Copies of this chain bind each other. A is one copy, B any other.
């Protein structure tokens, strides 16, 4: 396993190269923090971009869904896909309209996914999805039964051709604009968890687990 991805024709950042990141560790940190990926694929000449949950397991990105979904059906045909995960970190307010920007971390992965057919491998994948959402949840819940395993399609995308793009810090204004009397800086944005909401049908004697 390489610690550093080799930029390819598709993953190399050409326009603002300093924002490009090719270290596996940093790319995995972004993937592990996000919840939603956007899967792009072409079907009958049309491009589709579908948001979906995912999990990373070692050097694979796992995506699951109903066997009936168009995306899963298409991806199972071993077509090339592009999967993007984006975390928004802040609004960058410059002194000029032109230099307004956003702070973000994004990862883009190109590759061909394959169906996971082995029962044990599928089970481990479903565990990874649950643990990605809420660590330590798996031991609490009813695990998937054979019928559920059959109804779920899991695809595995090797993380081989990938890169990240990161922008952070202050706005970068034109030198002449720094003397303008305009407030400039960053409005940080963060995905925050609110107070957990009990299911309406939850027995009143069931307490909230520690991992929440």
Q: Is A134 among interface residues, defined by CB-CB distance under 8 A?
A: yes
Q: Is A142 among interface residues, defined by CB-CB distance under 8 A?
A: yes
Q: Is A186 among interface residues, defined by CB-CB distance under 8 A?
A: yes
Q: Is the Cβ of B183 less than 8 Å from the Cβ of A208?
A: yes
Q: How far is the CA of A66 from the CA of B16 in the complex (A)?
A: 10
**A150 CB to nearest B CB, Å:** 11
Q: Is the Cβ of B192 less than 8 Å from the Cβ of A91?
A: no
Most buried by B among A127, A181, A187: A187
Given contacts A49-B82, A193-B188, are A69 and B36 in contact (CB under 8 A)? no
Categorize the interface residue count of chain A.
Answer: 35 or more
Q: Is the Cβ of B189 less than 8 Å from the Cβ of A196?
A: no
Q: Is A5 among interface residues, defined by CB-CB distance under 8 A?
A: no
Q: Is A88 among interface residues, defined by CB-CB distance under 8 A?
A: yes
Q: Is the Cβ of B187 less than 8 Å from the Cβ of A202?
A: no
Most buried by B among A102, A127, A142, A186: A142
Instruction: For A50, list chain B residues within 8 Å (CB).
Output: 84, 108
**A70 CB to nearest B CB, Å:** 8
Q: Is the Cβ of B192 less than 8 Å from the Cβ of A190?
A: yes
Instruction: For A180, list chain B residues within 8 Å (CB).
Output: 142
> Could you say which of A18-26, A37-45, A113-121 contacts chain B?
A37-45
CB within 8 Å of B: which of A139-179?
140-144, 148, 151-152, 170-171, 177-178
Instruction: For A207, list chain B residues within 8 Å (CB).
Output: 183
Instruction: For A130, list chain B residues within 8 Å (CB).
Output: 97, 100
Q: Is the Cβ of A84 less than 8 Å from the Cβ of B49?
A: yes
Instruction: For A39, list chain B residues within 8 Å (CB).
Output: 49
Given contacts A46-B82, A96-B141, A100-B129, are A187 and B194 in contact (CB under 8 A)? yes
Q: How far is the CA of A89 from the CA of B151 in the complex (A)?
A: 26
Q: Is A80 among interface residues, defined by CB-CB distance under 8 A?
A: yes
